[in-house]
Structure 1
Amino acid sequence: MVYSTLLKTCVLAASVWLTACASSPQAIQLSPKFSAPTARMGNNSPVHVRVSDQRQNKVLGSRGGTYRETSVVTIANDLSLAVEKPLAKHMATMGYDTDSLRADTADLHVIFESLVYNHPKEDGVGYDMDMLAVVNVVASRGNERYEGRYRVKRKQKFFNAPSESHNAELVNGLVVEVLNSMFEDPKLVGFLRKN
């Protein structure tokens, strides 16, 4: 009886330990939410918005743990579709005409080159996550063209591993941050506003 109870306790302790060492895969729902713009910079300029996902690696990264190769973080939905509509809506609130059929409409093609959300292999105090987002932008109108590349990189430390909802919040925030950085480029803004 004592042996049986001891065995059950050992099995329970081992399973708890293994659970703590292993992290299950997560598929994050991408749904970026933009804050209201501080100014209407668009001046009613016509812009058609397109988003492409050209990441070579569709896995964002690993949540770490003993089995880091299987505890991966991915995007559950289509990145292009998840970003394109909210971005166009955000630009409309910024004063751009994103529904225009005019001949002089600028084409804004936002290309996701990289999106990383990864727990590094190195052990340390706390729980680090490396975050990186890179987008290439090609804006064209007739024979005119402007290209820009925008990058956001940061490391965030947590006391415990973030939950799935917290991970989703951080990844969506990273997407919004890199897209907002486009509008801090005066040359891109000037190109889009050219009438």
Structure 2
Amino acid sequence: MAYSTLIKSCVIAASVLLTACASSPQAIQLAPKFSAPSARVVNGSPVHVRVSDQRQNKVLGSRGGAYPETSVVTIGNDLSLAVEKSLAAHMAAMGYATDSLSADTVDLHVIFDSLVYDHRKEEGVGYDMDMLAAVNVVASRGNEHYEGRYRVKRKQKFFKAPSNPDNIEQVNGLVVEVLNSMFEDPKLVGFLRNK
């Protein structure tokens, strides 16, 4: 009886130890939140916003741990719909007419081709998360076109494994950062405003 109890205790202890060394997968709900613009910087320029998810790899990366192949991070909702809704609302707050049917409306097509949030190494102290977001943007008005590519890449160190809320905050922040970089391109902004 004592031997059976000892075996059970060892199995439970081993299970707890393995669980502690493993990270579970996470499907992040994408809901990027932009800071409110300080003022309406545009006076009604018409824009139609579209977002496409053309990433070759739908897995963002791994959370690390003893079994990185089972601790993957993915997007749990539709990237295109989530980003399109947030981006259109942000541009409306900036003063763009995002629901205009005007003939000179700009079709703004934002294409995500890369989104990475990955912890690759276990060596050293802490967790280094590699982060990358890249979008191609095609703006069209009649026969006029403007294309741009915007990219954000950084590495952030956590002293302990990032929690689920940490991961959600970082990935949504990365999306906002790469989209904000579009508005730092004076040529794109000039095209959107028809200037």
TM-score range (shorter-chain normalised) is: over 0.9
1:10 Cα offset (Å): 2.8
Aligned AA (1:105): T
1:175 equivalent to 2:175? Answer yes
RMSD value, Cα: 1.5
Q: Which residue of 2 aligns with 1:23?
A: 23
Matches within 5 A, 1:85-104: 85-104=85-104
Q: TM-score, normalised by structure 1?
A: 0.94
Aligned to 1:194, the other structure's residue is in SS state coil
Aligned to 2:11, the other structure's residue is in SS state helix
1:32 Cα offset (Å): 0.7
1:2 Cα offset (Å): 5.6
Post-superposition Cα deviations, 1:56-87, rounded to whole Å, max 9, x if no partner, equal: 00000011122111210000111000110110
Unaligned runs of 5+ in 2: none
Post-superposition Cα deviations, 1:122-175, rounded to whole Å, max 9, x if no partner, equal: 522111111100011000101111111111111111121111122111101110
Q: Which residue of 1 aligns with 2:11?
A: 11
Aligned AA (2:33): K
Q: TM-score, normalised by structure 2?
A: 0.94
Matched residues in 2 for 1:48 and 1:41: separation? 17
Q: Which residue of 1 aligns with 2:135?
A: 135
Aligned AA (2:87): L
Unaligned runs of 5+ in 1: none
More moved, 147-156 vs 39-48: 39-48
1:82 equivalent to 2:82? Answer yes
Matched residues in 2 for 1:129 and 1:93: separation? 32
Contact 2:128–2:158 under 8 Å retained in 1: yes
Aligned to 2:169, the other structure's residue is in SS state helix
Matched residues in 2 for 1:158 and 1:46: separation? 42
Aligned to 1:69, the other structure's residue is in SS state helix
Matched residues in 2 for 1:3 and 1:155: separation? 50
Aligned to 1:42, the other structure's residue is in SS state coil
Contact 2:65–2:122 under 8 Å retained in 1: no
1:43 Cα offset (Å): 2.0
Post-superposition Cα deviations, 1:92-136, rounded to whole Å, max 9, x if no partner, equal: 000100010000001100000100000013522111111100011
More moved, 49-58 vs 31-40: 31-40
Matched residues in 1 for 2:32 and 2:141: separation? 27
